[in-house]
Amino acid sequence: MTFLNPLMLFGLLAAGIPVALHLLNKRKLRTIEFSTLVFLKELQKTKIRQIKLRQILLLIVRTLLIVLLILVFSRPTIKGFLAGGLAESTKTTAVIIIDDSYSMTAAGEQGESLQQAKEAAAGVLSMLKEGDEAALIKLSEAGSPNIQFIPQKNLAEARNALHEIQPSAIRRPLRVALGKAAAILAASRNFNKEVYIFSDFQTSVAEAGQNAAKIFPEQTHFFLIRTANRPIHNAAIESVTLPDAILETGKTFLVRATIANEGSFRLTNHVVGIFQDGVRVGEKNVDIDAGKHAEVEFSLIPKQKGPLQGYVMLEDDDLEFDNIRYFTVNVPERISVCLIGSPADTRYCSLAFSTWFSDSASNLKITQLSFDRLNSAILSETNVLVIASFQGLTAERAAQIRTFISNGGGMIIFPSDRMDIPLFNTDIAKPLGMPEIAGREEIQTAANQAGYIELGNIDKRHPVFMGMFEETTDLRLSGSVQKQIESPRIKTFLRLLPNPNTLAIMSASNGTPFLTENTAGEGRVLMFSVAANTQWSDFPLKGLFVPLLCRCVSYAAQNFSSSNNLLCGGELSIRMRTLPDALFHIDAAGKNEIIAKAIRRGDHSIVHISQTQYPGIYTVKNGNTVVQKIAVNIDPLESSLLTADDNKIQKLFDMCGVSRPQIRSATLPQDIRNDVTEMRLGSELWKPLLIAALVVLLIETILARSTKRESTAFSAKSREI
């Protein structure tokens, strides 16, 4: 047993007061014998003994009452077999987990949540004594394999490290930090093992893992300190997406921003602005109810080729970290096209590219060859493959094509007469998720029927067709007229098997897909169901052929969506097919410079960067050439201040094999000390002792009244005698 207020034990001296009073009341009197007293002694001997026994019991009860009251104020504790002296000498290993994510910048009545956490954690450090040790884990660093969390006995250094904690853009779930804490405590020899978690306990942060395992020692105790927030005004940019488009200088493209009202009040006329290369180019107002979302679209016009950057920004509110979200786009400076097939197979494709090249300052580079000359070196310099003939396709070259597509390359396919359909289905279509070819079909001429089919449905909202069917004004018709296309006459086509992952951009009049799109890895595949010759159809002779083929090439060459999905703390992997092994300089949002070396892997190079702790635009340079710009943003889940309830938090600990009695929760920092003391030294006994004192007081009252009544009755009878 241990006493938390041992000085009060000196009050036990007061237990001698009833004994002293009892002794003082027993004065020695001279005995004078009367004849009648002889009879009185005989008659009342038994009664006198009963009165004396009651007086002794009353003395014991009053002494016990004083002892119990003194013990209540001295606050004794007990911890199983652990005696008080041993408890005082037992050492403690404390692991302090601080949630330093940006949501902790929210303020409550007691100030900013992170500052509340730091002050409460400092109070925990002050309770440690000489010989104890503490380990500090910042939630943002919990997932880093390069950081070792080692408990230290120099508590002054721990306090300094605690004082230096600042909000971090990196978000990590609590289960990651708990894994680090379990490893620290498993290696500790100290008897007392404690884990302190200071967090706002967002719903997303408290998510439990998939696999349950008992990772903590039995005697580990957990203290959860939840910081308090107040109702706030907060709009957050949840996402910025760039709908698929063909990016060209001087032509508009869309930027779509999703705005979430994560606050407690309705937002009215909240300003949303968009910036392109640091200049505000658009602004809109939105009204959003609490807990709802709204989408805002902006139109931007690239003014130059190459990587471009921008961001969407909200007006200031109670939380600033989620008021800006970055994005990047890339307007290709040059598209390298590898045209595969014999001169006869590629004739019309070559003419189309020549027409495109001569119409404007084209950025095309055309390489024409047959399948037997295709290799990894050529693929590394290519943006788009245009296959007009499959003669010479082998399993090895099919594997090279699959790798090319997965790494971000584009491909446009025309079938051919000499196509090995089983090989295509097995080695290209199936691995890339494309529709397999059921066979080749010819339109049969019948009585009163044409021996061909024409185009049917066209998805005019697809980026390939944007601008191709724009309305023009015809004054003679007093209104606008939509451009019409001259449909090709299709005599032979491929019958494709249904595929849920395939998008039919154009269909024939009989419902057969004419042009399909598939994505595989980071690349795109566009496939026509007719050959690029006049035997299958007159498609190459129609006015649609040249613009459609060229826009398909532009569309297949561009894939900018992946560069806007990186979150702070994630690993940045840059694939490059056109650059050799070299050193790259990365400007990390203007706050840090990183030097990385590209690693050659087959027909491409990869640069890995793990230092993405700052939100913003990361500019990758090879010498003076800007290779790529990548947007790094804060996890949008950080904006939601909805907190996990006790059941969800317990589920997280259940996955770690921690039972409910091992966990104590507090909402105020000052509540920690009593909980820590009770779990470290034992359970306090002042409550049961106080109840016992009240019971003893009741017994004392009953005994006192009974003794007084008996004494009065005895005195009255004695006077009668």
On the question of pLDDT at 86 being above 50, the answer is no
Q: What is the mean pLDDT of residues 21-25?
A: 66
Better-scored residue on pLDDT, 230 or 183: 183
Q: Which residues pair with 517 in a beta bridge?
A: 503, 526
Taking a C-beta distance cutoff of 8 angstroms, is the pair 220, 657 a contact?
no
Higher pLDDT pick, 430 / 479 = 430
pLDDT category of residue 88 using cuts at 50, 70 and 90:
very low
| Residues 605-626, mean pLDDT to the nearest whole number | 88
Instruction: Work out the mean pLDDT of the chain and round it to a whole number.
Output: 84
Across the range 198-221, mean pLDDT stands at: 87
Three-state secondary structure string covering 142-158: CCCCCCCCCCECCHHHH
Q: Choose between 602 and 588: higher pLDDT.
A: 588
pLDDT value of position 480: 44
Give pLDDT tens digits for 362-381.
Answer: 578 899 998 889 888 888 88
What is the percent of the chain with per-residue pLDDT over 70, rounded to a whole number?
A: 83
Lowest mean pLDDT among 377-391, 409-423, 448-462: 448-462
pLDDT at 578 over 80: no
Q: Is the pLDDT of residue 181 over 90?
A: yes
Position 297 scores a pLDDT of 95
**pLDDT at residue 485 in the model:** 73
pLDDT-above-90 percentage for the chain: 44
- Label residue 76 by pLDDT band (50, 70, 90): confident
Find the range with the poorest average confidence among 289-298, 482-491, 527-536, 574-583.
Answer: 574-583
CA distance 116 to 109: 10
pTM of the full structure: 0.77
- 389 in Cβ contact with 345 (< 8 Å): yes
Question: Is residue 246 scored above 70 in pLDDT?
Answer: yes
Identity of the highest mean pLDDT range in 93-107, 144-158, 396-410? 93-107
The DSSP code for 101 is B
Q: What is the pLDDT of residues 231-244, one digit of tens each?
A: 889 999 999 998 88
Q: Evaluate if residue 35 carries a pLDDT over 60.
A: no
In contact, 329 and 247? CB cutoff 8 Å: yes
Q: What is the pLDDT at residue 240?
A: 94
Q: Measured between alpha carbons, how far is 620 from 608 in angstroms, rounded to an integer?
A: 12
| pLDDT of res. 98 | 96
Q: Is the pLDDT of residue 111 over 90?
A: no
pLDDT band per the 50, 70, 90 thresholds, residue 613: very high
Domain range 92-229+641-681, CATH class: alpha beta
pLDDT computed for residue 85 by the predictor: 45
Cα dihedral value 662, 664, 670, 676, nearest 10:
-10
Does residue 48 have a pLDDT over 80?
no
Q: Which residue has the higher pLDDT, 375 or 25?
A: 375
593 in Cβ contact with 586 (< 8 Å): yes
| Total residues belonging to the chain | 721
Fold of 232-332: Immunoglobulin-like (2.60.40)
May I ask the CATH architecture of the domain 341-557? 3-Layer(aba) Sandwich (3.40)
Kindly indicate the confidence band of residue 34, based on its pLDDT and cuts at 50, 70 and 90.
low
Query: Residue 197 has which token pair?
Result: 């978690």
Which pLDDT belongs to residue 474? 45
Q: How large is the average pLDDT for residues 603-612? A: 80
- CA 436 to chain CA centroid, Å, is 38
Structure confidence at residue 603 (pLDDT): 62
Nearest CA-CA partner of 105 in 688, 504, 633, 641: 641
- β-partners of residue 338 are 367, 385
Distance between CA atoms of 713 and 707, rounded to whole angstroms? 10
- Given a cut of 60, whether residue 361 has pLDDT beyond it is no
Kindly tell me the sign of the dihedral angle through the C-alpha atoms of 608, 614, 617, 620: negative
pLDDT by residue (tens digit) across 305-316? 888 899 999 999
What mean pLDDT comes out for the span 146-172? 92
Cα end-to-end span (Å), the chain = 57
Q: In what order do the strands lie in the sheet with 220-226?
A: 133-138, 92-98, 192-199, 220-226, 663-666
